[in-house]
Amino acid sequence: MVEVVLRHGDRHVRVVALVDSGADVSLFNMSYALDLGLDTADGQRTRAVGAGGAAVDCLSWAGLELEFEQDRFPFAGRFVDLPASTPRMNLLGRRDFFQRYIVQFWDAADLFGIDLSPDFPRTSQPLG
């Protein structure tokens, strides 16, 4: 689990998310999109398939950014409004987060590390 900042214009929200190498795309709870002032009528509708094989309706918007350790980049993820009975887990997936970072898991030593990929120079942005 890591903390990231999701940004849209001058609004931002802090999100705790699971770094999930099995997730094709980042998936966040719809409540964060609403916190950013995004209108669900303006979102692009898509579907995502979860680990259990069930498809869920998603929304995405252009112009969002994700920030991790003062590195800011475009957010390519989606938002999902899950039923109350479903655990609400935010996932960082391969299409945006894993494109920028080298993520290492070493179960035997109980270690987890995230390093910026050499393909992306670090761009410092002040935290808002």
* pLDDT (tens place) for every residue of the chain, 128 residues total: 999 999 999 999 999 999 998 888 999 999 999 999 999 999 999 988 766 777 889 999 999 999 999 899 999 999 998 777 776 789 999 988 998 998 988 888 888 889 888 887 655 444 44
Question: Within its chain, how far is the Cα of 48 from the centroid?
Answer: 14
The pTM score is 0.83
**Is 96 in contact with 19 (CB distance < 8 Å)?**
no
pLDDT of residue 112: 86
